[in-house]
Amino acid sequence: MIEEYLEKILWTYMFFVMIATFGVSIYGIVFRPNMLKKIIALTIFGDTANVFMIFIGYRAIYPIKPPVLWTSHPDKNVLNTFVSQSIDPVPPALVITAIVINMAITLLITFLAIQAYRLYGSLDVRDLSKLKG
Amino acid sequence: MGTREKILLALIIISLALLAVILSFGALGAVPLKTIRPLGSFYLYFMANNNIMIQEIYPSITKPSDFWAASTEGVTAILWDYRGLDTLFETSVFFFAIIGSVSVFRYYSASLEEKNKKNTNNSSINTKTSDQGLSLIVKLITRINFVVIIAVSASIAFHGQLTPGGGFQGGATLAVAPLLAIAALSRYFVEDVGLKKNTMLTIRTLGLLIIGLLALAPLIMGLVGGNPYIMENQPKSWAMFIGFPSFGLGVLLGSLAFYNMAELLAVGAGFTVVFLLLTLPEEFFKKILSREVGEQ
Amino acid sequence: MLIELVKTIIFFIGMGLVGLGAVFDLIGALGLLRFPNFFVRLHAATIGAIGGAVYPLIGVALMAPSLESFGQYRWYLMGGAIVTALFIVLAAPTGSHALARATHRAKVVPVEPKVVDHLEEDKG
Amino acid sequence: MFYLLHLVMLVLMMSIGFVFAFLAIMERDLLKAVVFSAGQAAAYVIVYYLLMSPDIVLAYAAIGVGIYSAVMIIAIKKTERYEKV
Amino acid sequence: MNLESLATTYVLIIIPVFLAAFIIYVIRAVKGPSIPDSVLAIDALSYDVAAFMIILAIYFKSPFLIPGAIILAIWAYALDIFVAKYYEKKELGE
């Protein structure tokens, strides 16, 4: 009984921590003036979103294993035990795609930021917005 | 902070609080489920299944091998087989991001030639001395570590269908080798070894080309004999080309191993290009940019 | 029979190493917290990295052959542990060395309990 | 009992990740922010590990701890280190 | 009691010690007056996390959780080298 309550409280606490991280990173993206700081905040936001997705796809059971089969020739019992213990493999597959695309976008933005510094001598968005032409 | 920022901040806080309330009532599953979802269960049953059990679960299926992904690792099976097209376009996004980066730094080749010319004129004093890179200890240990890194990345990529890992993970591990070489031994060492920008671009394009050809192979074979399909590993009993060779559930499982190797090449070479571009000395860019501005 | 005995002894040696590693880890962490400045903390970091990471890894590698429920994959566990231990033995001191040398050169942190500073003299 | 220990580890690592993320955003010294961001990535690596997805551990350890930090350190070296307020 | 359950129980006792050490490392990384202090703490934290991952593989009885450890160790080393290079040289490519 007490374990169930504790379990629920702990899971809810984790979701709240995640939402707090979302809030902090959105603050960084919107209000910090430096472009590199914006990029760091963006990566933190993306990572937290990925963790959120994995959390939703998780199974709350104790003997839990990654979705990898032990034997290459499974019979019926092995397969049933495997499915009853393994996590859902769909969210990890989605998250790997998300991580790669995040990283590609971050690389491109970083290159653009460096080029902007070379051309205009500043990374501050307030300075960059005053430029003309 | 102006009025607009205040409104924006208030909106952010309100939406996050709304999300928190929704979650705490358990809408998205504040405590994760104890059972598995049907889609996940499908993937888990059929990713490495040798015709067992399928007809019990889905009696309508007459040819069980139609759904077989030939991998003992669930995530790789989904990435390169069930959602193969998605991964193909993801690799393309990575490819075009690097194309964009190269085109942003498009003065690269000119500056490198200038640097080489300067070196030959000045009898290359700063490029060959011990002044480059970090201390001798770091250089030696880094050279030893290259062996470990390359072996680990190869094992991660080539066993991708049996143990956790795969092409992208192996490529991201392989990328640490040029990165450490750039930091510890200087980028001139990397270019002397032969890892130049254009070579790496070629290898990367080759990797993507292999992936594309592998994906299109069933289509081309199918166009000849009828019933074409694309990018899938599992044998199709109704098609002319019944799938890539899979020698039992041994080491080489269908096309997954080839996809992983090609992805390893593409990702490792792509990261090398990025780091070679990023660590270019700043003074050449300044010179070139000032010249261009002066001409205008 | 003899092989079983040897395996069991090796297993207990491995367990001892894992426990020793945990204790060393805590000691290294406390040292890193309590020592006064960067150059002194390098000692504690070495205890944390070598004592806290390499010893447990060797211990796991020794424990692995007795874990029957892992099947043939216990050799995979053993190999992974040994390779990681080998890499950390090589990398951790090198990383600390590079960091200490760069910190000294850039004068980020003053060398405080200083009797003699040969690195400074070498630089001239 | 086992399950609760698992949950306590998860809670601890999420909290460490939040602390590092907060410091990374609020820090004015960008180099320090990058180091804190690497710490956040290391905490999230254990979170992914405890949520039983070793594939993501492989990909994210390489990208979050290594490549982001390296790219950002190079970019800071090329541009400027302190954020203007 | 066979060796396996002994190993699981033993690892269960070990885990809190490691967690305490992690918390102390984090305190040093947050407090660290200079950047090398933080980097040193995060470095030691990463190596210990790598070891912790392999120990936990015994606890969860799953050998497929271990390959992340070596990757984490490799990239922690790379972080060290990069911060050192930042302080030592004018350009990171030299």
Determine whether E34 is exposed, middle or buried from the number of CB atoms within 10 Å of its CB (0-12, 13-18, 19+). middle
Pick the CATH number of C2-123 from 1.10.287, 2.40.50, 1.20.1070, 1.10.8: 1.10.287
Average pLDDT value for chain B:
77
Task: Chain C: list its partners (3+ Cβ pairs within 8 Å).
Answer: B, E
Residue E22: CB atoms within 10 A of its CB come to 24
Partner E contacted by A65 (CB < 8 A): yes
The domain of E79 spans 3-89
- What does the pLDDT read at residue B185? 84
- For the ranges A44-53, B127-136, B176-185, the lowest mean pLDDT is seen at B127-136
Residue entry with tokens 């490029």 = B127
Band of residue B117 on the pLDDT scale cut at 50, 70, 90: low
Residue entry with tokens 């002894």 = C9
Digit-coded pLDDT (tens) for B229-247: 777 766 666 666 666 665 5
Residue A50 pLDDT exceeds 80:
yes
Chain D hits for A87, Cβ within 8 Å: 51-53
Q: How far apart are CA B227 and CA B223, in angstroms?
A: 7
Q: On the CB side of B78, how many CA atoms lie within 13 Å of its CA?
A: 23
Residue entry with tokens 């003053």 = C110
Digit-coded pLDDT (tens) for B26-81: 665 556 778 888 888 888 887 776 666 666 766 766 665 566 677 788 888 888 88
Q: How far apart are CA E7 and CA E9, in angstroms?
A: 6
- What does the pLDDT read at residue B235? 62
Kindly determine whether residue B149 and residue E74, on different chains, have CB atoms separated by under 8 Å: yes
Q: How far apart are CA D22 and CA A44, in angstroms?
A: 10
- What does the pLDDT read at residue E32? 77
Bridge partners of residue B31, in order along the sequence? none
- What does the pLDDT read at residue B296? 46
Digit-coded pLDDT (tens) for D42-76: 999 999 999 988 899 989 988 888 889 989 999 99
Please, what is the angle between helix B136-158 and helix B176-185, to 10°? 170
Q: Where do the domains of chain D lie?
A: 2-78
- What does the pLDDT read at residue C4? 87
Partner A contacted by D38 (CB < 8 A): no
> Residue E94 falls within a domain, yes or no?
no
- What does the pLDDT read at residue B243? 62
Chain E hits for D2, Cβ within 8 Å: 12
Q: How far apart are CA E16 and CA E12, in angstroms?
A: 8
> Residue E58 falls within a domain, yes or no?
yes
> How far is B281 from chain D, CA to nearest CA, in Å?
9
Residues 17-56 of E with CB under 8 A from C: 17-18, 20-22, 24-25, 27-28, 34-37, 39-41, 43-44, 47-48, 50-51, 54-55
- Give Dmax (Cα) for chain C: 66
Kindly determine whether residue D46 and residue E49, on different chains, have CB atoms separated by under 8 Å: yes
Better-predicted residue by pLDDT, D14 or B191: D14
Residues 6+ away with beta carbon under 8 Å from E7: C11, C15, C63, C66, C67, E58
Kindly determine whether residue D78 and residue B173, on different chains, have CB atoms separated by under 8 Å: no
Lookup: tokens for A33: 């003036």
Kindly determine whether residue E92 and residue B134, on different chains, have CB atoms separated by under 8 Å: no
Chain A hits for D59, Cβ within 8 Å: 96, 99-100
Chain E hits for A68, Cβ within 8 Å: 64
- What does the pLDDT read at residue A46? 93
SS3 label, residue B281: coil
Average pLDDT over residues B204-219: 86
- Give Dmax (Cα) for chain B: 79
In this structure, the dihedral spanned by the alpha carbons of residues C98, C101, C102 and C103, taken in order and rounded to 10 degrees, is 120
Partner D contacted by A62 (CB < 8 A): yes
Task: Chain E: list its partners (3+ Cβ pairs within 8 Å).
Answer: A, B, C, D
> Residue E34 falls within a domain, yes or no?
yes
Residues 6+ away with beta carbon under 8 Å from D8: A10
Indicate the residue of C18, C69, C92 with minimum beta-carbon distance to E47: C92
Task: Chain A: list its partners (3+ Cβ pairs within 8 Å).
Answer: B, D, E
In this prediction, the residues of chain C whose per-residue pLDDT falls under 50 are none
Which sign, positive or negative, has the C-alpha torsion D61, D64, D67, D69? Answer: negative
Better-predicted residue by pLDDT, B122 or B256: B256
Band of residue A45 on the pLDDT scale cut at 50, 70, 90: very high
Number of domains observed in the structure of chain E: 1
In this prediction, the residues of chain E whose per-residue pLDDT falls under 50 are none
Q: How far apart are CA A106 and CA D59, in angstroms?
A: 15
Band of residue A108 on the pLDDT scale cut at 50, 70, 90: very high
Residues 97-156 of B with CB under 8 A from D: 156
- What does the pLDDT read at residue B231? 73
Mutating which of D10, D23, D65 best tests the E interface, going by the most E Cβ atoms within 10 A?
D65
> Residue E14 falls within a domain, yes or no?
yes
In chain B, pLDDT over 70 holds for what percent of residues?
72
Average pLDDT value for chain D:
89
* CA–centroid distance for B6 within its chain: 41
Band of residue A39 on the pLDDT scale cut at 50, 70, 90: very high
Our answer on whether B and E touch (3+ beta-carbon pairs < 8 Å) is: yes
Chain E hits for B148, Cβ within 8 Å: 74
- What does the pLDDT read at residue B125? 44
Give 3-state DSSP helix, strand, coil % of chain A, rounded to 5. Answer: 75, 5, 20
Mutating which of E19, E27, E42 best tests the D interface, going by the most D Cβ atoms within 10 A?
E42
- What does the pLDDT read at residue B124? 44
Residues 31-90 of E with CB under 8 A from B: 64-65, 67, 70-71, 74-75, 77-78, 81-82, 84-85, 88
Our answer on whether D and C touch (3+ beta-carbon pairs < 8 Å) is: no
Q: What is the CA radius of gyration of chain B?
A: 26
- What does the pLDDT read at residue D1? 66
Average pLDDT over residues A104-123: 88
Distances (CA, A) of B162 to B77, B142, B159, C80: 10, 30, 5, 15
Distances (CA, A) of A36 to A39, C93, D39, D71, E76: 5, 31, 18, 11, 22
Residue entry with tokens 């795609």 = A97
Kindly determine whether residue C98 and residue E81, on different chains, have CB atoms separated by under 8 Å: yes
Bridge partners of residue C48, in order along the sequence? none
